[in-house]
């Protein structure tokens, strides 16, 4: 049975950006001050959450790998129920709602329920983290195309990434730490040079950010060796060599093992 639109409630799908509260859009900041309820995920920066006035109700639906606080279907039901109750509901999502944020699924649920919904874009992790690292995702000399992929999806080996990395291209991998070794094997098997530069941006745009650089063949070992923690972004392509980063090829033993590959790249 089709539901009637709420006379006053509205749902806002709001991008919180990659972490730094200064990167929040003005519209997002205004909505945080006027909402009745903020439903936020675990990737929203503490500085952004601190902007929410104390009297506004908050619900955390933070997800972790293999352990969800609330299933997506239940999140959808929560958003619809609270909006139909007449509330101004802000669904606050790390980065941008429509880039690996499941914002499309929540918008579908809102449309099906007949509630008003508006999307407020945010700076996605790829743009924010790359900017902090001084890493241009496209560059006239190095890359004329950029692609975003998710690295933690099931059946990673069955996904077709052919042509997404290599000459003239930049590949940005979200959520790829746990599968870093598999990503390396997958790309090299698809013909990508083992000596292609790679940058890993950990906790990008925050005060604890760390930018590491190596070659593709060393990616999985780098993640383990440097104990890289989530959230982190992996950027594969010649542009990665331009990053303001710690060159991890200088780590003990690594440079010698990869000497021949480095010379080829």
> Cβ contacts of residue 246 below 8 Å, gap of 6+?
210, 211, 212, 213
Query: Is 63 an annotated catalytic residue?
Result: yes
- In the set 3, 20, 22, 63, the catalytic residue is 63
Q: Select from 5, 84, 2 the least CA-distant residue to 37.
A: 84
- In the set 41, 96, 142, 221, the catalytic residue is 41
DSSP 38-49: EEE-TTS-HHHH
Query: Is 41 an annotated catalytic residue?
Result: yes
Question: How many Cβ atoms are within 10 Å of 169's Cβ, its own excluded?
Answer: 21
Alpha-carbon span 258 to 240, nearest angstrom: 17
> Cβ contacts of residue 91 below 8 Å, gap of 6+?
11, 12, 13, 14, 39, 40, 79, 97, 103, 106
Active site residues: 41, 63
């Amino acid at each position: 049975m089709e539901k009637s639109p709420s006379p006053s409630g509205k749902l806002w799908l709001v991008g919180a950006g990659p972490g730094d509260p200064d990167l929040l859009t003005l519209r997002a900041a205004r909505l945080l001050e006027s909402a009745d309820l903020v439903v936020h995920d675990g990737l929203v920066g503490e500085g952004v959450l601190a902007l929410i006035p104390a009297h506004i109700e908050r619900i955390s639906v933070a997800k972790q790998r293999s352990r969800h606080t609330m299933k997506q279907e239940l999140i959808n039901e929560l958003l619809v129920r609270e909006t139909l109750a007449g509330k101004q509901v802000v669904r606050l999502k790390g980065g941008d709602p429509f880039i690996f944020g499941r914002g499309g699924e929540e918008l579908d649920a809102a449309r099906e329920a007949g509630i008003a919904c508006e999307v407020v874009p945010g700076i996605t992790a790829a743009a924010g983290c790359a900017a902090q690292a001084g890493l241009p995702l496209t560059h006239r000399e190095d890359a004329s195309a950029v692609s975003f992929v998710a690295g933690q999806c099931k059946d990673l080996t069955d996904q077709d990434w052919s042509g997404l990395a290599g000459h003239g291209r930049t590949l940005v991998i979200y959520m790829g730490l746990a599968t870093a070794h598999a990503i390396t094997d997958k790309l090299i098997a698809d013909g990508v040079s083992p000596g292609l530069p790679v940058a890993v941006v950990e906790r990008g745009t925050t005060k604890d950010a760390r930018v590491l650089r190596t070659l593709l063949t060393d990616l999985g070992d780098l993640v383990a060796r440097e104990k890289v923690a989530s959230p982190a972004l992996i950027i594969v392509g010649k542009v990665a060599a331009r990053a303001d980063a710690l060159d991890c090829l200088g780590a003990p033993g690594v440079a010698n093992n990869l000497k021949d590959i480095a010379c080829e790249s």
